[in-house]
Structure 1
Amino acid sequence: MPQFTPGFPRFMLPAQHRFRDSIAEQLKSWYRYAREHFDPSMIEADGDGDPIWGSAMIRNRQEHLLNADEHDDDVLAHLDLGLAWATIGNLVISCMFGAYHILRDKTLLKRVRHELHEYLGERTIHEVDPHQLGRDIPLLASIYAETMRLHIKIYSAYSSPHEDVDLGKWTLPKGALALVNSAPSHMDKSFWNTKNGQYPVETFWADRFIIDPADPESGPIDPEYRRLHNRPKKEQEDMTPYFSLDGCEGAWVPYGGKIFLALSPQNLA
């Protein structure tokens, strides 16, 4: 991926392009097979899974992306290649390590089961909106965010289209591309709350992203850092602990991204 990022043409990266194209051809072969063999009756009772396309998301991508202007199987295959890469880089790792940390800690496992039981009642997990589930159970959201902080190390691409950016010892030239890894930010001991050293940044802490209004030392940001840099906590109407990423912009970047700096080096900071 770092070799592809600068946009080098095919003649400069022939082997890499051949490898990418071979995967795209396999995806197109799958499309042809799936369209020939899929039947709506195969969709499972939850309305999501099926043995041919795999999930409702992929079926929807086939329907909507192919109807977009100038989108054919070749375009869709390369889009799905990007989706597969992002899934392997984020989703698989976060699910695996999230489950690992829950299951290895009996106390945390008990808490998660209790929270789910209280929230679901008589419903099954398939009967609730997963986005709402994360919003309504702060512990689950915090486990997810902490898993991404601890285990996802990914590059973000930065560029300044209008002028050079002064970075102290270095300069980012106008139009040049810089790759910034999230690991230093995710492991910044001066930024992240460790509860006075009880939960070092190198360790998993399920409650790191939970703010307890009754505990001024709670939350993802080190209390002293928050005071020095004037990063106030979000006001909460009640005293219920809640999940929060407020103030973590630029420090919690598990998804990477491509950001264009408009004017000043302060944007990069």
Structure 2
Amino acid sequence: MDSLPLSDWYSNITGSCGSSNVSYGLKLREIPDQVINFWSSLHPAFPIRNWENVDSWVYWPIIGVLTLCITYITSTVQFHKVMNSNTHGTLREVPVVSYWVPGLFHAFAFLDPARFLLKIQKTFESDTPLQLKAGPSRFFLYRNSEHIKAVFRASKRTTNKSTTLFALRNLFDLPKSAVQLFQEDDSGTGLRPRKESKTSPENRINYLVTHTSREFLSSDYLEDMNRRYMSILLRHLDTFDVQSEWVEFSDLHEFIQQATIRPSVEALVGSEFFKLNPEFDKDLFIFQHYIPDFLHLLPRWLIPTAYRVRRRLLQSIKRWHQHAHNHYDCSRYGPEDPNWEPYFGSKLMRAREHYSLKISKMTPDARATEDLGLIFVATINVVTSIFWFVFEALKDSKLLARLDKEILMSSTKGRTEPDIKGLTSQPLLQSTYAEVLRLYSALVVSRVAEYGDIQVADYHIPKDGYIIMYSRSSALDHQAWERAGRTLKKSLEEFDAERFLVDPDWVRPSLSGVHDKKAPTEDPNTTLSKKRFTLDGLLGLWYPYGGGDRICPGRHFAKHQMMLTFAMLLAKFDFELTGTDTSKVLPNMRFAPFGVLPPNGKIPFRMRRKASI
């Protein structure tokens, strides 16, 4: 019934184009005539019958509203048609969620992607993937945990190049020549290039970035990185003018930033960096505030401060590059070379600089952008996670005491010399770490079918289609967590430091949904010391680092940084929250879905240096 009037409108328009006897204004009036006639046929009580007497300023808005309504009705019918047809056949089509505006589809909703994706999760109870569109771009939202696992398993048939480039270009200002380099690289990220690839070995930028990060953030270098970071952190904490008397501070988040950004950056890029750029950390704090604005593509004239700060950050990186090259050879990152030196810092930074110098399109500006991006993702999310770790412990004195007990168990040589392996293996510390990332991170993990049509979890994904998964939707999916065999003592909207602890004999439910004998129950008499930490069964529900072949290579170092920093802060200082209604401290959703969410306001506290360590 809908298609006939639409066809009539088009035939009336095209059929009258050649007529010289009818004025252009009359031709346009034929369009609303057809709409009104159609709408009147559906609604006999439709109020406007004498359409020729209606002024143009009235009927054009009516035409617009009716067009939106008809679009929504037809798209809803089509949505349910596809949903019902997916019960037949093996390869299924992903239904398009109903929309109002033809051509733009869901584009306006994507202006607030976090709210839109959560609304989708609440509106559609079915686990079927859903298709969202913004102009020509097509997004396939996967929500079911088993489907998300399938997406991660399909990583070799997808890329995340487009989304990475979006961030590099719009957040860090990657030059167009380097953007072209990344785009033209069709070789993949594997050791061997794709058979269809035409990219020369030296220009395999996506492989070089991925491979270098995996190699130099691996377990072979992790222990040295942990020790280096802890040493720098302890030295930096001694610079704070806090003695045995209580000192008031206005904001815990700001203090954590001041305490941890410099050690994080120095452990990565060397001690010479802050000698050249003493204000870099302050600029990084300011830059963090404007992340949503950059990623929402706000122009320079609306946020001039943000663009100025970004320019200063890039100039700082270029200044450091030049200074480091004047004093050290970046090609020295072999087995016999030091893991860390003061000019380039870690082997990771030397290796990145070495391969970049061989690529003509990796200009000094491009190299600065790439390294700013690495420094940013290696610090900001971790630092904000450390804040939430400390804040949640300070909120609950019993939790703080239990965490401190685990730290002491790992500190046989003294509180500032913990056994790092033992510390990062403690069950409650690990569970608290995992819960912080579950509740306070909100990111869209994406994959792109770059090389052709693919099939993921029995659904068809066309070439250049974006597969997206929203971590916060998964983190708050009560039914899915219960299916995974987890007992929810507290709502998923609340913080529960023990959420990832299970009884010693706990086993995950089978994929068929039949639980093993002791999987769904928990013994209330099991003491904390006997419980163990596990992420079993949660791959499609807990993925703050992504998953599959493209999982974050720095995840182990990030985990250790969080725990080490918490342990060293407790070793050096006593903390107390002051005058804060902790129930009002919430994550700032303005920063969703771009990573770990900062708090929505300032959290006053006081601290004093411990009398003895």
Normalising by the residue count of structure 2, what TM-score does the alignment of the two structures yield? 0.32
Q: For the residues of structure 1 that align with 2:401 and 2:452, how far apart are their CA atoms?
A: 53
* Counterpart contact for 1:158–1:180, Cα < 8 Å: no
Q: 1:5 Cα deviation (Å)? A: 5.5
Equivalent residue for 1:156?
Answer: 445
Q: Deviations over 1:199-256 (max 9, x none)?
A: 1101111111112226x5xx9x8x7x988266997xxxxx942211111112111123
Pairing 1:4–2:294 present: no
Quick one: structure 1 residues 37 and 97, their matched pair in 2 at CA, closer, same or farther if it must change by over 3 Å? farther
Q: 1:88 Cα deviation (Å)? A: 5.2
* Counterpart contact for 1:185–1:252, Cα < 8 Å: yes
Pairing 1:251–2:541 present: yes
Equivalent residue for 1:44?
Answer: none
Q: Could you say what secondary structure the match of 2:477 adopts?
A: coil
Quick one: structure 1 residues 10 and 33, their matched pair in 2 at CA, closer, same or farther if it must change by over 3 Å? closer
Q: Could you say what secondary structure the match of 1:158 adopts?
A: strand
* Counterpart contact for 2:410–2:422, Cα < 8 Å: no
* Counterpart contact for 1:154–1:183, Cα < 8 Å: yes
Q: 1:84 Cα deviation (Å)? A: 3.1
Given candidates 352, 371, 377, the residue that maps to 1:65 is: 352
* Counterpart contact for 2:490–2:496, Cα < 8 Å: yes
* Counterpart contact for 2:500–2:534, Cα < 8 Å: yes
Q: 1:87 Cα deviation (Å)? A: 3.5
Which structure is higher in helix share?
Answer: 2
Equivalent residue for 1:205?
Answer: 496
Q: Could you say what secondary structure the match of 2:446 adopts?
A: strand
Q: Deviations over 1:89-145 (max 9, x none)?
A: 52122111011111111000100111111221233444533x55212x111111111
Q: Could you say what secondary structure the match of 1:255 adopts?
A: coil
Which deviates more, 19-28 or 87-96? 19-28
Given candidates 349, 363, 369, the residue that maps to 1:78 is: 369
Q: 1:77 Cα deviation (Å)? A: 2.4
Q: Deviations over 1:15-55 (max 9, x none)?
A: 69x959834333212444567799xxxxxxxxx999x87xx
* Counterpart contact for 1:159–1:259, Cα < 8 Å: no
* Counterpart contact for 1:142–1:206, Cα < 8 Å: yes
Quick one: structure 1 residues 61 and 227, their matched pair in 2 at CA, closer, same or farther if it must change by over 3 Å? same
Pairing 1:94–2:385 present: yes
- In structure 1, list runs of 5 or more residues that go unmatched: 39-47, 234-238, 261-269
Given candidates 154, 163, 180, the residue that maps to 2:469 is: 180
Instruction: Output the amino acid matched with 2:446.
Output: A
Equivalent residue for 2:397?
Answer: 106
* Counterpart contact for 1:189–1:201, Cα < 8 Å: yes
Q: For the residues of structure 1 that align with 2:486 and 2:539, how far apart are their CA atoms?
A: 20
Q: Could you say what secondary structure the match of 1:4 adopts?
A: helix
- In structure 2, list runs of 5 or more residues that go unmatched: 1-162, 178-296, 301-305, 329-338, 520-528, 551-613
Quick one: structure 1 residues 95 and 114, their matched pair in 2 at CA, closer, same or farther if it must change by over 3 Å? same
Q: For the residues of structure 2 that align with 1:188 and 1:163, how far apart are their CA atoms?
A: 30
Which has more radius of gyration? Answer: 2
* Counterpart contact for 1:149–1:252, Cα < 8 Å: yes
Q: For the residues of structure 1 that align with 2:537 and 2:457, how far apart are their CA atoms?
A: 23
Equivalent residue for 2:532?
Answer: 242
Quick one: structure 1 residues 229 and 99, their matched pair in 2 at CA, closer, same or farther if it must change by over 3 Å? farther
Q: Could you say what secondary structure the match of 2:402 adopts?
A: helix
Q: For the residues of structure 2 that align with 1:83 and 1:33, how far apart are their CA atoms?
A: 19
Quick one: structure 1 residues 105 and 127, their matched pair in 2 at CA, closer, same or farther if it must change by over 3 Å? closer
Q: For the residues of structure 2 that align with 1:68 and 1:58, how far apart are their CA atoms?
A: 16
